[in-house]
Amino acid sequence: MKTPYIFGYIDLPENLRIFAQLEGEVDTFKCNETVELTTGTIGINNDGLPITSYKFKKVSQQ
């Protein structure tokens, strides 16, 4: 994994808590912020191909 990276606990409405990678800049996340599900590259495999997985990012404020 390319550093720096951010992980956090996400509380879902279904009363489920998951530990997941967050997409964004380090030191920009705070507790109780709203996030949304996204996908993105989390690493590179032995063949040099990207590994894609679920991530969470901040909800855009409009």
| Rounded Cα–Cα distance for residues 29 and 14 (Å) | 22
Residue 3's pLDDT is what?
80
Q: Which one has a higher pLDDT value, 15 or 2?
A: 15
Residue 4's pLDDT is what?
85
Q: Is the pLDDT of residue 1 over 70?
A: no
Q: Is the pLDDT of residue 35 over 80?
A: yes
pTM: 0.75
Is residue 62 exposed (0-12), middle (13-18) or buried (19+ Cβ within 10 Å)? exposed
Mean pLDDT of all residues in 46-58: 94
> Between vectors from CA 20 to CA 36 and to CA 17, what angle results, nearest 5°?
80
